[in-house]
Amino acid sequence: MSYLDEIIKSRRDTRHFTNEEVPDAVIEKALEAGHWAPSVGLTEATRYYLIKSAEVKKAVKKLFLDYDEKAAQSTDNESQKVQYQALKLEAIEDAPLGLVIAYDRSVLNHFTIGTVGSNEAIKNSAVCAAQNIWLSLTEQGYSMGWVSILNYYQFKKILGLPEHIEPLGYFCVGKPATDYGKQPMLQQLNWKKKSEAPIVTEINHLIIDEDKKVAVSSKHKDVATTLKKELEDKINQKTKPIGSLGVLEKIAQQIGEVFQTLEPKIKNPNIIVFAADHGIAQHGVSAYPQDVTRQMVSNFLEGGAAINVFCKQNDITLSIVDAGVNYDFPSNVKLISNKIDKGTHSFLSTSAMSKTQMQLCFSKGAEMVTSIAKQGCNCVGFGEMGIGNTATASVLMSVLCNFSIEDCVGKGTGVDDEKLQFKIAILRKAIENYEGEKDFDSYLAHFGGFEILQMAGGMLEAYQQNMIFLVDGFICSVAFLIAFKKNPEILKNAIFSHQSAEKAHKKLLDYLDVSAVLQLDLRLGEGTGCALVFPIITSAVAFLNEMASFESAGVSENKS
């Protein structure tokens, strides 16, 4: 065995340190090793921050403890919780030196000529640097421990790191107090055994991904005329004048036809909020900075947003999906990661995404709905969050419906009249700059948003799963427009929750020849309209199933 092999095998994620100080020469040599790690496009995006302050260490330790408690609460039973809490997962205050390894996203604005940069590439370069540092410290008789269970937003805040600097985590550095029996600590504690060899598969033939036609489920054969007529008769025989419950009667009829039963039941309702960032936002088309997307996702996860309140009020499960937020969220059991990338590119000058990313959006949205359908859900609502997504939705509506951009642009989350004219001018310029093919998929890739296309994929899958699905406001209706153009049959399963205050929404609903149930001047997004309309949905089902008929109540029916 070579000396290098010995170093690699003895490299440990260390949690126990002596109080011996780390000599400057040791850390300098280790950081030099990190500097010479592979760096995609020679970006040199990796950054290092040294921490010796007891005050800073204490603050970082508190962040760890807050998230560690959440992790302990997510264990399956009390025995697991006790085992988890017995683990030593950090040595933030014990280790003599703290090291933050980070990467600088701003280098992507000035990338090496002849190469194309991505956030994942520079992040992975920083990981290579971390490994080099680890190996160098091991060779010198020192070690590191990686702490990643942190609220990264607060972590950056207490360290004073700018928005474009993204930390991999906090690394504890020092002289190890134990060799852990020359094996990983979790293996030493009998939690898990490291496999003896790497998992390797040889790929020896090419897979050609041919276009697949969407299969039409046998569930979606035309509803038998008899069932349709039976539902109409059941509704008309209730102890009321015919048509007197208005829209409730239409909803009851629709739900009965979708579920193909005279006694439909709403089961395990779920609202999915898809969040993503948009490159067009960097041009000032929103009243809010892009970081609000990340802030609001955190608010959803902490239960503080309007959609949290309304879902709790109506006993609706809320699922939060990171479809492409420009942020690395910490590990959190409540956040579902469908991240395609850290936001789209600005379609003012280039394509928002590749066609591969576009297709991935549809598949990931479908997978999300399939997952909740397997949990017994038959009614799903769609919501969104993303600074700049009204601009994206407006352009998509314009190019897909052949409307002028002026007819498709509104104030979004509250821009003033002057900013509105600026927004229209920017989006008009983006459409004028487009030189791609005029086909449907090319438009979606060039002007699309990750959350909008994932919602469209989810709606298509909700139809395949025979679910009722609720469409929120303007942006969700644009997602529906995209799904509808792929499969017009989905209209049978859709309920449009509300007509928003965004002026283009009414025009789009008219284009689709549909009506919204509510008109509350909402322009919040988040799926709030879906949650607010839900009691009306359940009322429609309730009257269909529980209201007496003329015959059962012994009430004379008006035969005239």
Strand-by-strand arrangement of the 46-51 sheet: 46-51, 97-104, 165-174, 143-147
- Cross-strand pairs, 50: 99
CA distance 232 to 102: 63
Q: Please state the φ and ψ torsions of residue 482, each to the nearest 5 degrees.
A: -65, -45
The answer for residues whose C-beta is within 8 angstroms of residue 275's C-beta and 6 or more apart is 293, 296, 297, 300, 320, 321, 322, 323, 324, 325, 384, 385, 386, 451
- Cross-strand pairs, 443: none
171 versus 551: the higher-pLDDT residue is 171
As a whole number, the mean pLDDT across the chain is 87
Evaluate if residue 151 carries a pLDDT over 90.
no
Residue-range domains of the chain with CATH: 3-189 (3.40.109.10), 258-407+414-474+523-539 (3.40.50.10210)
Which tokens belong to 544? 């269909």
Strand-by-strand arrangement of the 317-324 sheet: 335-337, 317-324, 270-276, 379-385, 468-471, 494-496
Section 397-426 average pLDDT: 85
CA distance 395 to 415: 17
Reduced 3-state DSSP string for 355-422: HHHHHHHHHHHHHHHHHHHHCCCCEEEEEEECCCHHHHHHHHHHHHHCCCHHHHCCCCCCCCHHHHHH
Evaluate if residue 530 carries a pLDDT over 50.
yes
Q: Can you say whether the dihedral through the CA atoms of 10, 11, 12, 16 is positive or negative?
A: positive
User: Which of 126, 197, 148 lies closest to 13 in space, CA to CA?
Assistant: 148
Q: What is the DSSP letter of 133?
A: H
How high is the pLDDT of residue 528?
97
First to last CA, the chain: 98
User: Which of 50, 69, 57, 47 lies closest to 125 in space, CA to CA?
Assistant: 47
Amino acid at 128: C
Q: Alpha helices, DSSP H only, in 465-518? A: 474-486, 503-512
171 versus 216: the higher-pLDDT residue is 171
- How many other CB atoms are found less than 10 A from the CB of residue 520? 15
User: Comparing 244-253, 493-502, 542-551, which segment has the lowest mean pLDDT?
Assistant: 542-551
How high is the pLDDT of residue 213?
42
Section 239-255 average pLDDT: 94
How high is the pLDDT of residue 214?
43
Evaluate if residue 75 carries a pLDDT over 50.
yes
Instruction: Tell me if 149 sits within 8 A of 331, measured CB to CB.
Output: yes
**β-strands 143-147, 468-471: how paired?**
unpaired
How high is the pLDDT of residue 220?
47
446-486 tens-digit pLDDT: 999 999 999 999 999 999 999 999 999 999 999 999 999 99
What residues are labeled active site?
Answer: 526
User: Which of 373, 279, 380 lies closest to 324 in space, CA to CA?
Assistant: 279
pTM higher than 0.75, yes or no? no
Which tokens belong to 500? 């928003």
